[in-house]
Structure 1
Amino acid sequence: MRFLFWFLLLAVAAVVAALAARLNAGYALLVAPPYRVELSLNLLLILIAGGFAALYFGLRVIVRTIQLPAQVREWRRLQKKDRARAKLDAAIVALLEGRYGKAQQQAQEALALPHSSGLAALVAARAAIDVRQFDAAEAYLSRPETQARSLSVPRLTLSAEIALEQGQPQEALRILDALKREAGMHTAALRLELRATQAARRFDQIPSLVDQLVKRGVFDAAQGEQVRIAAQREQLRALAHDAAGLRDAWSRLPESTRTLPPIARAAAQSFLQLGGDREAGEVLARSLEREWNSELVEPYGECRLPDATRQIEQAERWLAGHNQDAVLLRVLGTLCQRQQLWGKAQTYLEASLALDNHWRTHLALGEMLGRLGRSDEANAHFVAALRLATDELKRRR
């Protein structure tokens, strides 16, 4: 349709031009003594139009000829830039596929081309970190292309990860502090800071980091709680030689956290190492009252409380609701043996063996019978304890 319109328009223009030429009887006289040139006006107009067109196109050809070398250089630059971009794309795809060697190769080829982006060096560094080629990764990150301000965040993040992977959590935290000053803290940097803080054993700083990661959806509530509890447990274990620090950390924990089995066990073990048997016993008893956990019974039996009779009575109250718990029976036997209640001790220990043939119970029975002068029976239990303990070690291997 468009072609037909232009064809008709051109035909009309040609007809109008032909009619105008027939009606135009004028002429032009050009005098340059001794020459006289007489031309029809139509021919003069045609010559003027043709001359203008020739001059215009001639000038265009000259300008294009002059610009041709610059245009060739620009074309070549764009070709190299396109090749570099293609190499970078291939490097990113290889990195996402987990082909780290190929990712480095493609990134190096991109860097070898002029006008390459610093992003290629970052991709190569990321691939090198994943195969633990830390020297190569640091070399990539030190290239001039990566020093652009727009690339400071990924460069600092990768530098912090290199330090962390090399066992330098303090250096990683220093770099992350610089990153925080540069551009604030984003999610990936927060995750890295959590790892570095754990490695640096700064357990008191972990709960606040976990809260931020939960808000950003990195952890759900249950996962965040697990990480938080693990950090609090390790903090309590780390204070096993600092009585004041341990009591301060324990006092700052909410009551709901203190009665959690992992927390209670860690606190009790640290209190026991510091000679705080009474505090350890109270911690374990409160946790067991809230939620029964056989793993807490063993350390409760290790506590040497001032009122041993009351300790036995407490354990016997628990036995009313957990009479099939072999660990509780063994602990009761140990507590009775400590008070020289030989009959009750033997009864509890034998009941524990009936439920669980454990080497610790055989050992406790052997020690008690040895003190009572029943050497043959004691030796039999010692042999059984040794055999069972050896089997357990083999299974752990």
Structure 2
Amino acid sequence: MRAALWLLALFGVAAATALFAGNNQGTVTVFWPPWRVDLSLNLVLLLLLGAFILLHVALRALSALFSLPRQARQWRLQQKERALHAAVLDTIAQLLAGRFSRARKAAQAALAQERTLAALDARLPQAQQVRVLSHLLAAESAQALLDRGARDAHLQHALNESAERGALVSPETREGVQLRAARWALEDRDAAAALARLEELPQGAQRRTLALRLRLKAARQDRRTLEALETARLLAKHRAFSDAVAQSIVRGLATELLSGAHDPAQLLRAWTELERVERELPEVAIHAAQRMVLLRGDLALARAWLLPIWDRMVEHPQGLGDTSRVKLVRALEAGLDSVDADWLARIEAAQRNNPRDPNLQYLAGMTCMKRQLWGKAQQLLTQAGLGLQDAELYRRAWQALAQLAEGRDDAEQASAAWKRAAQLGNS
């Protein structure tokens, strides 16, 4: 369609020109003494048009001739700029391929090309960012080659370049340099330096998932359990881990925080640092109660920590794993000497509601033994000894039965019970 319109326009111009030129009887007379030259107006117009075209072509030719040096310089700068970009890309490719020596050489070549361009007064818009990234890639290669001196030198250059006033480097570039520096400090097992690097980041960057992951590793490496726990909570809120992994990490850190307490007061402070959801984790609550028993603290408080776990086990017997059930029984057994009437009622009610549970039989039997209810204790412990799967509880049950038999002067029963306990211990 466009070609057809152009063709119609061309025909229109040709027709108009033919009409004008065909009927044009005008002449132009040029007096050049002693001559007189008569020219038709059409010829004069054609000569003027030709002269204009000739002058225009001559001027364009002169302009192209005088611009050749400038074009040659631009071409050379363009080739150097392409070589610079190619060196940066080659650095990244070599680094990803594990060719760290070649990657460092390519990064140094990129820096050399950038210096050459700067010496030629070629203002690249991304010159500073290219320098920062080249230094960063060179530092990454040096870190892989365990050349910490070269790594620190390139890192300092990258930080200095990105910190200059009026720099065109984006904030993300400097933050990336700081994050890489924190990761290198972690690889050097220098957790304090890694945390210091992370503290230099802006507040928004400190809450990014990558920064939080580095902070978690650094805090755990530096034994800052509470800080690591707080960081793990943030990562869990950011969905950085699956629910199972997040719960496992938080559980481990909460247990580690409780293990760091060396007296009942420290243990209580550590317990108050935990969130409600963390306190209701069976492993955490049981470990806290065991630490309280070990530190000879308030056993009533330890049992209060265990109460939600106990209620969960009673209401949903299958909701608590066998390992957690055994640990819960052990933790409660350690404080049976000071157990109150409410807990005695809970233990008896739970055993009656689930009479075939060997763990509850064992706990109720040990409770009866502490209360000098010898007959009931023997009955419950005998039933538990036949069904317990945990080796430690099995051994304790038969040891208690042996002690009960010795109290009745029943040497034969005592010997048999001691034998069963010893056989398990030897196996």
RMSD after superposition: 4.4
State the partner residue of 1:303.
335
Question: Structure 1 residue 263 and structure 2 residue 284: aligned?
Answer: yes
Structure 1 distance, partners of 2:390, 2:313, is 24
1:27 Cα offset (Å): 2.0
1:56 Cα offset (Å): 3.4
State the partner residue of 2:360.
328
State the partner residue of 1:29.
31
Q: Map 1:92-107; keep pairs closer than 5 Å.
A: 99-101=96-98
Of residues 1, 5, 9, the one that matches 2:8 is: 5
Unaligned runs of 5+ in 2: 115-126, 163-168, 315-319
1:288 Cα offset (Å): 0.8
1:4 Cα offset (Å): 1.0
1:195 Cα offset (Å): 3.7
* Cα 1:325–1:163 shift into 2, 3 Å: farther
State the partner residue of 1:69.
69
Of residues 157, 161, 184, the one that matches 1:147 is: 161
* Cα 1:274–1:126 shift into 2, 3 Å: same
Asked if 1 retains the 8 angstrom alpha-carbon contact of 2:254 and 2:278, the reply is no
Of residues 15, 20, 36, the one that matches 2:18 is: 15
Aligned-residue identity in percent: 25
Question: Structure 1 residue 359 and structure 2 residue 391: aligned?
Answer: yes
State the partner residue of 1:386.
426
* Cα 1:13–1:318 shift into 2, 3 Å: same
Q: SS where residue 30 of structure 2 aligns?
A: strand
Q: SS where residue 337 of structure 2 aligns?
A: coil
Unaligned runs of 5+ in 1: 388-397
Question: Structure 1 residue 177 and structure 2 residue 176: aligned?
Answer: no
1:268 Cα offset (Å): 0.9
Q: SS where residue 275 of structure 1 aligns?
A: coil
* Cα 1:182–1:103 shift into 2, 3 Å: farther
Greater alpha carbon shift after TM alignment, 265-274 vs 140-149: 140-149
Q: Map 1:188-267; keep pairs closer than 5 Å.
A: 188-205=210-227, 209=231, 212-213=234-235, 216-218=238-240, 227-239=249-261, 241-251=262-272, 253=274, 257-267=278-288
Cα displacement string for residues 195-248 of structure 1 (whole angstroms, at most 9, x for unaligned residues): 433444444345654565455454677876665554433322222x04323223
1:284 Cα offset (Å): 2.3
